[in-house]
Amino acid sequence: MGEYKTYRPKRKILKWLYLYVFMWFTGRAIKIAAKVDDEVKKEFDSIPNNFNVALEVLPYGPALVVGKTEDGKVQYLGSSTKDKKIDLRMIVHNIENAMQLFTFQESTAISFMRNRLYLDGEIPYAAAFVRVFDAVEVYLLPKIIAKLAVKRYPAWSLIRKLSGRVKIYLRAGIGV
């Protein structure tokens, strides 16, 4: 006869911390990118005011919440969806899938394909948000890695890429 035990799931603290830091930085970078890059700005213009988007990992987070205020300013709203009005959710099923996505082993597109994450909300806004996310990744990451993360690496001028990159790193990192 066999033996019965219960298994209490362990927490994956290190992975959670990595994601927390990564998503915190990306969230701040999105806010800055909306100021320094015209294309990102235009994408946010297509999203209504007083609208919050969350990218969250089930079931314990972390999350990345960005939104537009009543007067159209882009804000980073922190690492938790708790007590926030969320209009659009991009939900990653579990922490391992989030690791695949945020260590660039799977691009955003491939993660969608493999049902690692799903959408809850209006698709046009989600499409806009994914474009924002892609643009920020192009700014933040060296080309060789960013190519893994986005579907089509854009033909931006070197000046646009580098000046944007410097501004975003500085302002997101030290909060200038």
Partner 1 sequence: MYLPEYCEFLSPVQIASGHHVLEKIPGFLKALNAKRPLILADKGVTAAGLIGIVEDAIKDNVQIGAIDDDVPPDSDLKVVSRLSDVYRKNNCDAIIAVGGGSVLDTAKGLNILVSEDADNLMEFAGANKLKRPLKPFIAIPTTAGTGSELTMAAVIADHDNFIKILFGSRFLLPDIAIIDSRMTLTLPAFFTAATAMDAMTHAVESYICLQKNPLSDAHALSAISLISKNLLNVIRKPDDQEGRLLLAKAATLAGMAFSNSTVGIVHTLGHSVGGVCGVPHGTCMSIFLPYGLEYNYHLVNPFIAELLFPLAGPEVYADTPENKRAEKTIEYIRQLNQDLHDATGGRHARFLSEILNRDGEQMVKKSHFDAIARISIGDGTKFYNPEEIDYDDSMLVLEASWDGRPLNRNLVKKNA
Partner 2 sequence: MSRTDYSDFLCPIKFCCGKLALETLPAELRVYNARKPLILFSNKAVINGLIDPVKQAFDDSEMVAGIYDGVPESPTLSTIRELSDIYIKNGHDALIAVGSGSVMNLAKVLNIVVSGEPGDLKTCQGEDKITKPLNPFFVVPEASATGLMANGSACIDNFSFTSRYLIPDYLAIDPRIVQQETVGVIIDAAMRALSSSSFAYTLPDTDYFIDPYAYLAIQTICENLIPVIENADSKKGFKDYLIMNDTEKGKMALVTASVIGGFISFCQPAGIVMRLSEALSEYCQLSSGILAGLLLPYGLEYAMLKEGYQTEKLLLALAGPDVYSRTPENERGKSAMGILRDIQDKLFHLTDGYIPRTLAGAGISENQFSEMIERMSQNDEGIDSKGCLSILNHAREGRPVSDI
Q: Which positions touch partner 1 (CB under 8 A)?
A: 109-110, 112-115, 118-128, 130-131, 147, 150-156
When asked if residue 4 is in the footprint of partner 2 (CB under 8 A), the reply is: yes
**Position among 35, 41, 93, 167 found at the interface with partner 2 (CB under 8 A):** 93
Contact between residue 114 and residue 143 where contact means Cβ atoms under 8 Å apart: no
Which residue intervals of 13-157 are DSSP H helices?
13-36, 38-45, 95-102, 108-113, 123-140, 143-149
Rank residues 64 and 130 by Cβ distance to partner 1 and give the closer one.
130
- Stretch near partner 2 under the rule CB under 8 A, chosen from 6-14, 76-84, 135-143, 149-157: 6-14
One-letter amino acid identity for 103? T
> Crossing angle for the helix pair 38-45 and 13-36, nearest 10 degrees?
100
Phi-psi region of 72 (alpha: psi -120 to 50; beta: other; left: phi over 0): left
Residue 151 binding: pick among partner 2, partner 1, none (C-beta 5-8 Å cut-off by kind): partner 1
- Stretch near partner 2 under the rule CB under 8 A, chosen from 7-15, 20-28, 73-81, 131-139: 7-15
